[in-house]
Amino acid sequence: MSFLSKLLSEFIDVIEWVDTTPNTLVWKFPRNDNAIKMGAKLIVRESQAAIFINEGRVADVFMPGTYELQTQNMPILTTLNSWKYGFNSPFKADVYFVSTRQFTNQKWGTKNPVMIRDAEFGPVRLRAFGSFNFKVQDAKVFMDQISATNPQFIVEDINEQLRNTIVARGMDAVAQSKIAILDLAANYNEMGTLIANTIQADFAELGLNLTKLLVENISLPPEVEQALDKRSSMGIVGNLGAFAQFQAANAMEKAAENSIGGNLGAAGMGIGVGAAMMNQVGNVFQPNQFNPNEDKTDAPPPPPAAQYHIIKNGNSDGPHSLSDLNLMVSSKTMNKETMVWKKGMAGWAAAGSVAELTDLFDNEPPPVA
């Protein structure tokens, strides 16, 4: 090989990227300090964009197609290198390929519950997760803002940032939508569209386009879900009396089944108990039956029992009920001369002079002669 042929072999004459990976966003063409020959062929496939970078600055961007590199189709690179009158010698530039296809089934979700204020339940903590699709919309902006000069940039390098954006902005959108917690499950499509529209501008700032966002589940904390399950069960049961009778009938049926080949006496007892339960439980939940002999007039409450204070050892002692005073009389710790008082009396009086207490002393036997 002649020196000229060897020199020419060091020049790059075909620039292309055959992407065999599922997650590569940006790939740098391995130039290895070899110069690109003027007139070299550049092949940009569908769902790709090729970006020429000169001394750290984004120059020309090529969309899908086949190009023969000349100063005419590299206007920015020509200007940067002051190729005013044309240039046919090999040149050096970094070439990056950016994948513009859709990256699908990217997962998002809340790491921790997010507090939402609901009109019916008040403050409620929610968890949500789903998936989204995105693509590079503006390769130049994406290179400037995100990938910079990384020789290879993959989806996982930016996924965390995108997920955080979806959760932060998306949950704000859910809260502002004022959709009731119980209605969220019926509005997953609307929630997905609402979140996507809310965060589209954040993706555009990175040169990306959010093509689809799906809400797969919005869940409440376990204790709240248990409370809702109980509430739903009560709504399904409806008439508690009918439900209780239904349960008792099931118990009777099971008792009858157990009687086959078993103790008939025990089975009969089970049936009897079940029937009694049905009658009793049914009566509990039935409305009150009208009784024509029953006096529907509300009886007045009984008057409060009298409470007396007595003077004992020179001090007031009490209050005492009439039953207490009766015991005192029986035990000889109180007699007719004992001073008593109750609410409504003008002052202290001897027990024997109070009409209400005279019966307490009628049972005293006369003194022994």
- With CA atoms as reference, report the closest residue to 75 among 87, 91, 59: 59
67 or 290: whose pLDDT is higher? 67
pLDDT digit string, tens, across residues 129-162: 999 999 999 999 999 888 877 889 999 999 999 9
What's the average model confidence in pLDDT over 245-272?
61
Strongest mean pLDDT among 106-110, 121-125, 255-259, 324-328: 106-110
According to the model, what pLDDT value does residue 79 have?
87
Q: Are 95 and 15 in contact (CB under 8 A)?
A: yes
According to the model, what pLDDT value does residue 277 have?
54
- With CA atoms as reference, report the closest residue to 64 among 93, 100, 30: 100
pLDDT digit string, tens, across residues 208-226: 999 999 999 888 878 777 7
Question: What is d(CA 246, CA 105) in angstroms, rounded to the nearest whole number?
Answer: 49
Q: Is 284 helix (H, G, I), strand (E, B) or coil?
A: helix
Question: What is d(CA 317, CA 325) in angstroms, rounded to the nearest whole number?
Answer: 12
φ, ψ (nearest 5 deg) of residue 95: -115, 125
pTM of the full structure: 0.59
Question: What is d(CA 308, CA 320) in angstroms, rounded to the nearest whole number?
Answer: 5
User: Given a cut of 60, is residue 229 above it in pLDDT?
Assistant: yes
Long-range contacts of 328-333 (CB under 8 A, 24+ apart): 329/360, 329/361, 329/364
Q: Rounded to whole angstroms, what are the CA distances from 73 to 48, 60, 68, 290, 312?
A: 18, 9, 8, 100, 121
According to the model, what pLDDT value does residue 3 have?
42
According to the model, what pLDDT value does residue 276 have?
55
